[in-house]
Amino acid sequence: MKLDGDVRRRGRPPVRSDEETTRIVLDAARHTFAVEGYAATSTEELARGAGISTKTLYRLFPGKAALFEAMCADRLERLLSAVDLQASDEVDIETGLRAALIACADLALDPEVVALQRMVLQQSATFPELAANFYNNGIARTAKALAGWLRLQVKRKRIAIDDADEVAGMLVGMVASAPQRAAIYGGKPLPSRKQIERRVQTCAALFLDGCRAKSS
């Protein structure tokens, strides 16, 4: 015979951990911010989208700005964790560079990342900390990863450069800046995989070989 207390215990929904709740909040926030924009989104709406109370939301995040920063960092962290900058001795420098630049382009030109960047630009005058956080958590980290790859190639005497950080910024700019601007300001579609690969091939050739005509 089942006791009423046993039935009630088995019928209670399982208690979610803070880690699981945070994941749900971040996923819901990414969708809500993308649809409504930062300024128009309230903490009540964010809590409702995640299916939690505002009290729980404030326990996990001190405010909307902190949640937005965590959401950007989380999304970029997941994308960055998938970036594989090939550094094998068996891979020639051109093949390795192309693979590294494609990995960076895939991150910089990811539709969600571009949508976040568009939103950050729209709100940067009112909320300048959003732009700084987005830069530090995404753009700067992408260039830093590429700079580390470049330093390894210098160490292996495959290339000769003085400032890996500066060169990495230039390369990321060559690969991604123009398509980003076209999408954000011109409403153009993001490049296809074939277009990205062609752009990367050109950038790699410019970096490794230059384009000055040889004197006859």
Predicted local confidence at residue 20, as pLDDT:
93
How far is CA 142 from each of CA 102, 103, 105, 157, 195, rounded to the nearest angstrom?
12, 9, 9, 23, 20
Predicted local confidence at residue 83, as pLDDT:
61
State pTM to two decimals: 0.75
Predicted local confidence at residue 12, as pLDDT:
54
DSSP type of residue 137: I
Averages of pLDDT over each 10 residues, the chain, 216 residues: 50 74 92 84 92 94 89 77 64 89 88 85 81 79 88 92 95 94 94 96 94 73
Instruction: Please state the CATH superfamily assignment of the domain spanning residues 84-209 in this structure.
Output: Tetracycline Repressor, domain 2 (1.10.357.10)
In the chain, domain spans: 15-61, 84-209
State which CATH number among 2.40.128.20, 1.10.10.60, 1.10.230.10, 3.40.50.11540 fits the domain covering 15-61.
1.10.10.60
Burial class (CB in 10 A: 0-12, 13-18, 19+), 201: middle
